[in-house]
Structure 1
Amino acid sequence: MKLYYADTLMPRLACAVATLVRAPVEFVRVDLFRGEQKTPRFLALNPNGKVPVLEDGDLRLWEADAIACHLARRFQPALWPEAQTHELVRWLSWNARHFTQAGSILYFEHVIKGQYLKQAPSERAVERGLQEFRAGAQVLAAHLANRRFVLGEELTLADLALATALPWTEAAQLPLDEWPVLRHWYAAIESLEGWRHPYPAKPLAFADLPPQA
């Protein structure tokens, strides 16, 4: 198994789940700033030219949620309780369109543009991101008011997916502190070693893979 990634927002979720469930994957770091994701070799893995991508035998998966789902179901089924499949899918779908989507706007403006591209954030984009993040946070906080985790008392993939942007709370200037219940919920996730440190110390480099890989 190979997991192609970069240390950016969505690939981090796939890497964290792989690490948490102790999946026997080889981590392959793709250098986005060198454009490795746009090379013919990588496009053969994912025609969208994006990370993450998982190779598991003949199975080739892209999209972080799909990869996380596959790894959870295969290596730690408790993260994907079959009896709650519809609830899991509901929260994954909602998250992709609302909570993490809003967080990704602020992540792009403050982290990618601010730290990597050395560009000033767009005030209009930041305002929209904050508005959408607060709207999503309000929904999630209300849901978590009487629950330890999103689906009840046990951690599931829904929690991990919803936390995708939160490792960048400070850097992306996410207003998480406005909801103590969310801070408390996220603290339980952040206490997991695999979540705090999702990447291997010495990953493979995409450029160093043999041509037939």
Structure 2
Amino acid sequence: MKLYYCETPSPRKACAVARYLGLPIEYAFVDLTRGEQTRPDYLAINPNGKLPCLVDGERSIWEADAIMFHLALNAESELWPRSASQQVDVVRWLSWNSQHLLRHGGSLYFEYLVKPLFGLGEPDPSKVSEAQDSFRRFAGVLDQHLKGRKWLLGDDLSIADFSVAVMLPYAPRCAIPLDEFTEVRRWHDQLNAFDAWRNPFPARPAQAGANA
């Protein structure tokens, strides 16, 4: 398997799951600042020109959540639960995250990290305030759900935890109001106990140890 990635949130969760599972994967860094995601050879495997992308034999899998699912199945890992009811819960949280928490956390990531990287100006205070208010709304839902639960599904870690938490490592740099939510912070601290979560990206020769 070959995992194409860059050091941004969506590839982060795919890389974290791959490291957590200890799978034999070849990593290929794609430099967004050089537009490498638009090269014909990359578009041949992912016509969306987005990251991450996993190539497994003749199959090319786009989208980080699908990649995590594929990796968990490949490893026969409990990160993809066996019971149908828990599988429904995983899909529910993946969908919820993509529409809500990731969306608003991603807006803050864009304002504070993407704009400086590409010379797009300073954070827009009105957009920051709007994104923070929306993040708070849905983080409150997550905070209530986590009361009395170790992980999103209860006692069992799953790919849903890796997906829903993906914006939280960027909280200090992106003005994400994580510290306002005790249960969410406690849950994220548990993920931080895993080296695969703290350091998901493989070291690159030209930039050893660099994470974004």
Preserved contact between residue 29 and residue 203 of structure 1 (Cα < 8 Å): no
Supply the distance in 2 between the matched residues of 1:74 and 1:144 (Cα, whole angstroms). Answer: 28
Q: Secondary structure at the match of 1:93?
A: helix
Aligned length: 204
Supply the distance in 2 between the matched residues of 1:96 and 1:50 (Cα, whole angstroms). Answer: 15
User: Partner of 1:8 in structure 2?
Assistant: 8
Q: Please list every run of 5 or more consecutive structure 2 residues that lacks an aligned counterpart in the other structure.
A: 207-212
C-alpha RMSD of the superposition: 1.5
TM, length-normalised to structure 1: 0.92
Q: Secondary structure at the match of 1:82?
A: coil
Q: Secondary structure at the match of 2:174?
A: coil
Q: Please list every run of 5 or more consecutive structure 1 residues that lacks an aligned counterpart in the other structure.
A: 205-213
User: Partner of 2:31 in structure 1?
Assistant: 31
> Given the superposition, is the C-alpha separation of residues 76 and 203 from structure 1 closer, same or farther in structure 2, using an over 3 Å criterion?
farther
The structure whose RCO (Cα within 8 Å, separation 6+) is larger is 1
Q: Which moved more, 1:13-22 or 1:113-122?
A: 113-122
Structure 1 residue 202 displacement after superposition? 3.4
TM, length-normalised to structure 2: 0.92
User: Partner of 1:210 in structure 2?
Assistant: none
> Given the superposition, is the C-alpha separation of residues 76 and 167 from structure 1 closer, same or farther in structure 2, using an over 3 Å criterion?
farther
> Equivalences for 1:1-213 in 2 at 5 Å?
1-83=1-83, 84-117=86-119, 119-202=121-204
Preserved contact between residue 27 and residue 203 of structure 1 (Cα < 8 Å): no
Supply the distance in 2 between the matched residues of 1:33 and 1:105 (Cα, whole angstroms). Answer: 19
Supply the distance in 1 between the matched residues of 2:78 and 2:119 (Cα, whole angstroms). Answer: 40
Identity %: 45
Supply the distance in 2 between the matched residues of 1:65 and 1:80 (Cα, whole angstroms). Answer: 11
Supply the distance in 1 between the matched residues of 2:90 and 2:113 (Cα, whole angstroms). Answer: 29
Structure 1 residue 118 displacement after superposition? 5.8
Supply the distance in 1 between the matched residues of 2:116 and 2:135 (Cα, whole angstroms). Answer: 19
Aligned residue identity for 2:191 = I
Q: Which runs of 4+ in 1 moved over 4 A?
A: none
